[in-house]
Protein backbone atom coordinates (compact mmCIF):
# COMPACT_ATOMS: atom_id res chain seq x y z
CA UNK A 1 0.00 0.00 0.00
CA UNK A 2 1.53 3.32 -1.10
CA UNK A 3 -0.61 5.53 1.15
CA UNK A 4 0.62 6.40 4.63
CA UNK A 5 -0.80 8.15 7.68
CA UNK A 6 -1.03 11.98 7.37
CA UNK A 7 -0.61 11.89 3.57
CA UNK A 8 -2.68 14.38 1.59
CA UNK A 9 -4.71 12.36 -0.95
CA UNK A 10 -7.17 12.93 -3.80
CA UNK A 11 -10.17 10.62 -4.26
CA UNK A 12 -10.23 9.44 -7.90
CA UNK A 13 -13.43 7.34 -8.01
CA UNK A 14 -16.81 7.06 -6.35
CA UNK A 15 -19.25 9.45 -4.73
CA UNK A 16 -16.50 11.70 -3.36
CA UNK A 17 -14.46 11.90 -6.60
CA UNK A 18 -12.27 15.02 -6.76
CA UNK A 19 -12.24 15.61 -3.01
CA UNK A 20 -8.92 16.05 -1.19
CA UNK A 21 -8.22 15.18 2.42
CA UNK A 22 -5.69 13.97 4.95
CA UNK A 23 -5.35 10.25 5.74
CA UNK A 24 -6.49 9.75 9.34
CA UNK A 25 -6.08 5.97 9.57
CA UNK A 26 -4.58 3.16 7.47
CA UNK A 27 -5.35 -0.55 7.50
CA UNK A 28 -2.70 -2.31 5.37
CA UNK A 29 -4.20 -5.76 6.01
CA UNK A 30 -7.44 -4.90 4.22
CA UNK A 31 -5.95 -2.19 1.98
CA UNK A 32 -8.29 0.52 3.22
CA UNK A 33 -7.86 4.07 4.54
CA UNK A 34 -9.95 6.69 6.34
CA UNK A 35 -9.73 10.12 4.68
CA UNK A 36 -10.80 13.33 6.40
CA UNK A 37 -14.22 14.48 5.12
CA UNK A 38 -14.70 11.50 2.76
CA UNK A 39 -17.26 8.65 2.94
CA UNK A 40 -19.27 10.22 5.75
CA UNK A 41 -21.69 7.86 7.53
CA UNK A 42 -24.18 8.21 10.38
CA UNK A 43 -23.53 6.18 13.54
CA UNK A 44 -26.14 5.81 16.26
CA UNK A 45 -24.70 6.04 19.77
CA UNK A 46 -26.72 4.71 22.67
CA UNK A 47 -26.53 6.42 26.06
CA UNK A 48 -24.37 4.27 28.35
CA UNK A 49 -24.80 6.25 31.57
CA UNK A 50 -27.82 7.85 33.22
CA UNK A 51 -26.67 11.43 32.57
CA UNK A 52 -25.79 10.83 28.87
CA UNK A 53 -28.16 11.15 25.93
CA UNK A 54 -28.39 9.02 22.81
CA UNK A 55 -27.28 10.74 19.62
CA UNK A 56 -26.51 10.32 15.93
CA UNK A 57 -22.86 10.96 15.03
CA UNK A 58 -21.62 11.80 11.52
CA UNK A 59 -18.12 10.34 10.99
CA UNK A 60 -15.72 9.11 8.29
CA UNK A 61 -15.69 5.49 7.16
CA UNK A 62 -13.11 3.39 5.32
CA UNK A 63 -12.46 3.76 1.59
CA UNK A 64 -10.31 1.45 -0.53
CA UNK A 65 -6.71 2.64 -0.92
CA UNK A 66 -6.86 2.00 -4.69
CA UNK A 67 -9.47 4.78 -4.97
CA UNK A 68 -7.07 7.49 -3.77
CA UNK A 69 -3.88 9.08 -5.14
CA UNK A 70 -1.20 10.74 -3.05
CA UNK A 71 -0.84 14.48 -3.65
CA UNK A 72 2.76 15.69 -3.94
CA UNK A 73 3.47 18.32 -1.25
CA UNK A 74 6.03 20.10 -3.48
CA UNK A 75 4.02 20.60 -6.69
CA UNK A 76 0.48 19.91 -5.35
CA UNK A 77 -0.35 17.38 -8.10
CA UNK A 78 -1.80 13.87 -7.64
CA UNK A 79 0.81 11.25 -8.41
CA UNK A 80 1.60 7.60 -8.70
CA UNK A 81 4.05 6.64 -6.04
CA UNK A 82 7.51 5.53 -7.15
CA UNK A 83 10.21 4.18 -4.88
CA UNK A 84 13.88 5.15 -4.92
CA UNK A 85 16.85 4.55 -2.65
CA UNK A 86 18.24 7.78 -1.17
CA UNK A 87 21.10 7.59 1.35
CA UNK A 88 20.52 3.84 1.75
CA UNK A 89 16.81 4.23 2.60
CA UNK A 90 13.83 3.38 0.42
CA UNK A 91 11.85 6.59 -0.13
CA UNK A 92 8.58 7.35 -1.93
CA UNK A 93 9.04 9.95 -4.70
CA UNK A 94 6.87 11.82 -7.23
CA UNK A 95 8.09 10.21 -10.44
CA UNK A 96 6.91 9.49 -13.94
CA UNK A 97 7.11 11.63 -17.07
CA UNK A 98 5.56 14.73 -15.44
CA UNK A 99 6.88 14.16 -11.90
CA UNK A 100 9.02 16.62 -10.01
CA UNK A 101 11.15 13.82 -8.49
CA UNK A 102 10.91 15.19 -4.94
CA UNK A 103 10.29 12.88 -1.96
CA UNK A 104 6.70 12.48 -0.76
CA UNK A 105 7.73 11.59 2.78
CA UNK A 106 8.03 14.64 4.99
CA UNK A 107 10.69 12.93 7.12
CA UNK A 108 12.86 12.28 4.05
CA UNK A 109 12.44 15.86 2.88
CA UNK A 110 13.32 17.20 6.33
CA UNK A 111 16.36 14.93 6.49
CA UNK A 112 17.50 16.20 3.09
CA UNK A 113 17.16 19.81 4.31
CA UNK A 114 19.00 19.07 7.58
CA UNK A 115 22.06 17.85 5.70
CA UNK A 116 22.23 21.12 3.77
CA UNK A 117 22.10 23.26 6.94
CA UNK A 118 25.21 23.44 9.17
CA UNK A 119 25.02 21.50 12.41
CA UNK A 120 24.66 23.55 15.60
CA UNK A 121 26.27 22.14 18.72
CA UNK A 122 24.29 22.29 21.95
CA UNK A 123 25.83 23.02 25.33
CA UNK A 124 25.76 20.30 27.94
CA UNK A 125 23.41 21.06 30.87
CA UNK A 126 25.07 22.19 34.12
CA UNK A 127 25.70 19.52 36.69
CA UNK A 128 23.23 19.70 39.56
CA UNK A 129 24.39 19.33 43.15
CA UNK A 130 22.28 18.20 46.04
CA UNK A 131 21.47 20.82 48.66
CA UNK A 132 21.62 18.25 51.45
CA UNK A 133 25.29 17.51 50.79
CA UNK A 134 26.11 21.24 50.82
CA UNK A 135 24.39 21.75 54.21
CA UNK A 136 26.24 18.84 55.84
CA UNK A 137 29.57 20.25 54.60
CA UNK A 138 28.75 23.66 56.17
CA UNK A 139 27.67 22.07 59.50
CA UNK A 140 30.95 20.13 59.84
CA UNK A 141 33.04 23.33 59.63
Residue 64 domain-assigned (yes or no): yes
131 inside domain? no
> Is residue 5 in a domain?
yes
94-138 pLDDT, tens per residue? 877 777 778 887 655 555 555 555 556 677 777 777 666 666 656
Q: Does residue 14 lie within any of the structural domains?
A: yes
Q: Is 66 contained in some domain?
A: yes
Q: Report whether 80 contacts 92 (CB < 8 A).
A: no
Q: What backbone phi and psi angles, to 5 degrees, belong to 43? A: -120, 135
For 92, the domain range is 72-115
pLDDT tens by residue, 29-71: 999 999 999 999 999 999 999 999 999 999 999 999 999 999 9
Please name the residues in contact with 128: beta carbons below 8 A apart, sequence gap of 6 or more.
none
Contacting residues for 11 by C-beta, under 8 A, at least 6 apart: 17, 18, 19, 20, 21, 35, 38, 63, 67, 68
d(CA 69, CA 92): 13
Rounded to two decimals, the pTM is 0.67
In a domain, 120, yes or no: no
Judge if 67 and 15 occupy the same domain: yes
- The count of structural domains within the chain is 2
Same domain for 83 and 58: no
Amino acid sequence: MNVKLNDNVLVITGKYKGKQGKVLKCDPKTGRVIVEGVNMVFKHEKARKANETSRIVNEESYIDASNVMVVCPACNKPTRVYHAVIDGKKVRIHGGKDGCGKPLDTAAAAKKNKKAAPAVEEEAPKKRTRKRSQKTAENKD
